[in-house]
């Protein structure tokens, strides 16, 4: 098998555009997922029975459906509900963010419930409101404790952004498909795509791991 990387070199801007979309899609869906997860996790833990059940339903529904199905539904079916079409990119951010949000919700809930009740008592005894106690005392510890699973979710979110290729978001995998079809060089191009994903995800995982090694002790009450 002869290897010819010239299609990559000639089309580097095309690949770079894909990388840009992958990074943007990942970052925005992680931001959306984190926002949903933060609010969802806190409300599920401290918001009373009704909110707990409602958010629990969201979590269970999302976790029971393949992310690909959620993506396709969001892009092709959801516009019929709202009577407004979505761009592939915003559809991708929405679907991936809502999907990720369910997992982050559960992770943050697990972190919050793992903090022993004495910490809340100590915060309340100082005169803090429950909200102040959660914000300044409980949540920071929970986030530190949950750094390893949150890190996994972030890395998975970057990888899952590739799924958006099916709704034609011009992200890395989609651009690679197009290029491979045009140049008949699938080996070189898909290998390069894999390498690029690895070069994003591996340092991300290592960085989060290193941060946890430094901060982990601060979450141990």
Partner 1 sequence: MIAKRKTKSRPRIGSGTAPILSFEGVVKRYGPLEALAGVSFQVHRGEVVCLIGPSGSGKSTLLRCANALETIDGGRVVLEGVEVHDRRTDARKLRRRMGMVFQNFELFPHLTVLRNVAVGPTTVLGMPQRQAAERATELLRKVGLADKAAHYPASLSGGQQQRVAIARALAMQPDVMLFDEPTSALDPETIGEVLSVMKRLADEGMTMVVVTHEMDFAKRVGNWIVVFDHGKVVEQGPPQQVFDEPTVQRTRDFLSHLGWHGESLAAADLLVQPSSTDP
Under the rule (CB under 8 A), what is the footprint of partner 1? 118-119, 121-129, 132, 136-137, 140-141, 144, 217-221
With tokens 């990888």, the residue in question is 159
How many contiguous H segments (helices) and E segments (strands) does the chain have? 12, 0
Indicate the DSSP class of residue 65: S
* Cβ nearer to partner 1, comparing 9 with 217: 217
Least CB distance from residue 50 to partner 1, whole Å? 21
* Cβ nearer to partner 1, comparing 137 with 193: 137
Q: Are 158 and 70 in contact (CB under 8 A)?
A: no
* Cβ nearer to partner 1, comparing 85 with 136: 136
Half-sphere exposure of 124 (CA within 13 A, CB side): 7
* Cβ nearer to partner 1, comparing 115 with 155: 115
Least CB distance from residue 206 to partner 1, whole Å? 23
Least CB distance from residue 43 to partner 1, whole Å? 21
Alpha carbons 32 and 29: distance in angstroms, whole number: 5
- Joined tokens for residue 219: 């979450």
What value, to the nearest 5°, has the Cα angle with vertex 161 and ends 99 and 147?
65
* Cβ nearer to partner 1, comparing 28 with 108: 108
Alpha carbons 195 and 119: distance in angstroms, whole number: 45
Least CB distance from residue 120 to partner 1, whole Å? 9
Least CB distance from residue 220 to partner 1, whole Å? 6
Alpha carbons 8 and 10: distance in angstroms, whole number: 5
């Amino acid at each position: 098998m002869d290897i010819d990387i010239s299609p990559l070199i000639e089309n580097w801007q095309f690949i770079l555009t894909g990388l840009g979309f992958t990074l943007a899609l990942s970052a925005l869906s992680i931001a959306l997922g984190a926002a949903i997860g933060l609010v969802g996790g806190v409300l599920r833990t401290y918001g009373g029975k009704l909110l707990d059940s409602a958010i629990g339903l969201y979590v269970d529904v999302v976790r029971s459906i393949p992310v690909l199905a959620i993506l396709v539904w969001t892009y092709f079916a959801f516009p019929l509900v709202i009577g407004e079409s979505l761009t592939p990119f915003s559809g991708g951010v929405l679907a991936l963010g809502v999907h990720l949000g369910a997992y982050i919700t559960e992770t943050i809930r697990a972190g919050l419930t793992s903090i022993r009740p004495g910490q809340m008592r100590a915060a309340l005894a100082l005169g803090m409101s429950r909200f102040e106690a959660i914000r300044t005392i409980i949540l920071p510890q929970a986030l530190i404790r949950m750094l390893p699973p949150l890190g996994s979710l972030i890395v998975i979110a970057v990888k899952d952004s590739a799924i958006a290729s099916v709704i034609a978001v011009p992200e890395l995998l989609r651009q690679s498909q197009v290029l491979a079809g045009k140049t008949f060089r699938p080996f070189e191009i898909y290998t390069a795509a894999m390498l690029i994903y690895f070069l994003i995800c591996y340092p991300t995982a290592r960085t989060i791991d290193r941060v946890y090694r430094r901060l982990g002790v601060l979450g141990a009450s």
